[in-house]
């Protein structure tokens, strides 16, 4: 038996199309690169057109097959149109990584209704919208893998982040419900819950709280593995869920946080 060959076969995404939301930076971009490295074609979705195009160009330079799509993931019609365009371009959608996210570091008294609506729309509603439009194509192709980005704060509470915690809790249980509904279609649905990961979103939290970035990240590293995460840490977990390595895994919630939740 060629052990290395078998391992590569289990992780290979050759011939598959992966749709990645929030793909212009951070975890989304890191994961798009990792999935492309394993052979997947990439549909990169983001609301930041200039950064999204730069991200796609960077993946192409690495040899990846990628197209960028501007998409407001909170809009039913935009999601419908984008999913249709991706399917028409690639003829399949095998992997959906619902990763777009925002955070507002405020408690219930400080948070405005508009901010509540924004966080719930981007972090939770968008998962429903993209999945609603992608799942029929996955069924047509005989199955697929949907991976949702949650958070440790979807499993426990956190300070001054009431809308984010609500959205993440919803993401965790939405994942389980979708896994139950669509297992019969050969569609696996799982959730990766990152801890503090060095991304523009984490650094924005420091700004929202009026804190020094370096000090904020230093405190965030106070966990058993003594560092904050990097996008590659999360990308490896998503690769596991996207690949045949997890062929009998659905409805799972995988915490990737350096031991912080523990």
| Active centre residues (catalytic) | 164
Among 140, 50, 146, which Cα is nearest to 95's? Answer: 146
Give the list of residues 6+ apart from residue 31 with CB closer than 8 angstroms, or none: 20, 23, 97, 99, 231, 234, 235, 238, 239
SS3 71: coil
DSSP track, 159-224 = TT-HHHHHHHHHHHHHHHHHHHHHGGGTEEEEEEEE-SBSSHHHHHHHHHTT--HHHHHHHHT-ST
253 contacts 191 by C-beta, under 8 angstroms: yes
Annotate 199-222 with b (16+ C-beta within 10 A) or e (fewer).
Answer: beebeebbeeeeeeeeebbeebee
- Crossing angle between the packed helical segments 200-208 and 213-220, to the nearest 10 degrees: 110
Give the list of residues 6+ apart from residue 177 with CB closer than 8 angstroms, or none: none
Q: Any idea what the Cα angle at residue 26 is, between residues 255 and 202, rounded to 5°?
A: 70
**Nearest 10 degrees: CA dihedral of 38, 197, 121, 212?**
-150
């Amino acid at each position: 038996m060629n052990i290395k060959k078998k391992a590569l076969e289990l992780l290979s995404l050759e011939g598959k199309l992966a749709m990645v939301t929030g793909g212009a930076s951070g975890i989304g971009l890191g994961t798009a690169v990792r999935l492309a490295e394993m052979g997947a074609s990439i549909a990169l979705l983001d609301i930041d057109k200039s950064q999204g195009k730069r991200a796609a160009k960077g993946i192409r330079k690495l040899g990846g097959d990628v197209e960028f799509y501007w998409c407001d993931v909170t809009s039913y019609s935009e999601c419908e149109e984008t999913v249709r365009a991706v399917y028409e371009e690639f003829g399949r959608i095998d992997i959906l990584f619902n990763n777009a996210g925002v955070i507002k570091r405020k408690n219930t008294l400080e948070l405005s209704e508009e901010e509540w609506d924004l966080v719930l729309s981007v972090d939770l509603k968008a998962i429903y919208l993209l999945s609603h439009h992608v799942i029929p194509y996955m069924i047509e192709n005989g199955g697929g893998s949907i991976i949702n980005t949650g958070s440790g704060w979807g499993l426990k509470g956190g300070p001054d982040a009431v809308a984010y915690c609500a959205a993440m809790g919803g993401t965790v249980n939405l994942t389980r419900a979708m896994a139950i509904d669509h297992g019969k279609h050969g569609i696996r649905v799982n959730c990766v819950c990152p801890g503090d990961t060095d991304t523009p979103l984490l650094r924005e939290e420091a700004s929202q709280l009026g804190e020094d970035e370096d000090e904020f990240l230093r405190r965030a590293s106070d966990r058993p593995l003594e560092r904050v995460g990097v996008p590659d840490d999360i990308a490896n977990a998503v690769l596991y869920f996207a690949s045949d390595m997890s062929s009998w895994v659905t409805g799972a919630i995988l915490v990737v946080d350096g031991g912080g939740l523990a």
